[in-house]
Structure 1
Amino acid sequence: MTNTTKHRRGTMAVQMKGRTTGPTTIELEHESGYKIAVNAPKDNGGDGSSFSPTDLCAVSLGACGSLIMRMYADGKGIALRGISFELKKEMVANPRRIERITVVFRIDSDCTDLELKKIEAAGRACPVRITLGSCVEVVESYERA
């Protein structure tokens, strides 16, 4: 049974859950049953053996942007061989939070420069980017692979 529900105005809700599995680890579970382990970072008492919660937040920007760009290109019939990204998360203290995310997207395609600009625009409009809003500085660049 799925817990995905449709709300008014076309919004969607997805059920997820988590449980501690050790002093600095959490197991997260998506409604599909897929599970991932999350660990506190080394500088905050964890062993750094997996993504930290703020790592997941940051890398979600790269994942979301890549998926949105890929889906846009596919929908417009623009051939892409692939999209990859590298990302850097920078934290600050007082309060401890993500200050800046720097991401470089590499788009492997023979598309025109205009098509590439449209793909980039789609990526900049990804839901994670919009959710981060002005709370986190996002530095993005786009390159041909």
Structure 2
Amino acid sequence: MTSISCHYSGSLGCSAVHGPSGATLHTDAPADNHGQGGAFSPTDLIATSLATCLLTIMGLVAERHGWRMEGASARVEKTMSQELPRRIAALEVWLVLPVSLEAGARATLQRAAEGCPVKATLKGAVPITLHWDTA
């Protein structure tokens, strides 16, 4: 179990402290929802969690096989619903794997990414599309 302490800072901002490491992050409401947009919004963190989880899971598999993943990247686009209640309507992720990876390694990493815990958690709640490319 991981403990994260969150505190409301005022002006629609919050801070969170990761219990095990002490790392801190700040959030702000987006400008289109009365915030200043000066930091990740809570829904931005969900999008970020998806992209970084995909990369992390692939990194774990790559390390087991001795494959180099340096240079892999992900760009995620979050679309919010136009109707109320406000929610994430879709997440689209563009993943770039190193060109040096062979086709078999690439296929293995793509299958591993499909099992990302964040993707599994969001399944059925938010449509997710993954796009694959090489660097």
Pairwise same-fold verdict (TM > 0.5):
yes
Deviation at 1:17, TM superposition (A): 1.0
Q: Give the Cα–Cα distance (whole angstroms) in 2 for the partners of residues 33 and 80 of structure 1.
A: 27
The alignment status of 1:123 with 2:113, answered yes or no, reads yes
What RMSD in Å do the two structures reach over aligned CA positions? 1.0
TM-score normalised by length of structure 1: 0.88
Q: Give the Cα–Cα distance (whole angstroms) in 1 for the partners of residues 87 and 14 of structure 2.
A: 19
Pairing partner for 2:2 from 5, 14, 26:
14
Structure 1: runs of 5 or more not aligned: 1-12
Q: Give the Cα–Cα distance (whole angstroms) in 2 for the partners of residues 64 and 137 of structure 1.
A: 16
Q: Give the Cα–Cα distance (whole angstroms) in 1 for the partners of residues 113 and 95 of structure 2.
A: 9
Equivalences, count:
133
Deviation beyond 2 Å, 4+ runs, structure 1: 79-82
The alignment status of 1:29 with 2:32, answered yes or no, reads no
The alignment status of 1:88 with 2:67, answered yes or no, reads no
Counterpart code for 1:28: A
State the identity as a percent: 31
1:39-79 deviations in whole A, cap 9, x for unaligned? 00111110000000000011110000001101111111122
Q: More strand per residue: 1 or 2?
A: 1
Q: Give the Cα–Cα distance (whole angstroms) in 2 for the partners of residues 144 and 53 of structure 1.
A: 30
Structure 2: runs of 5 or more not aligned: none
Partner of 2:97: 107
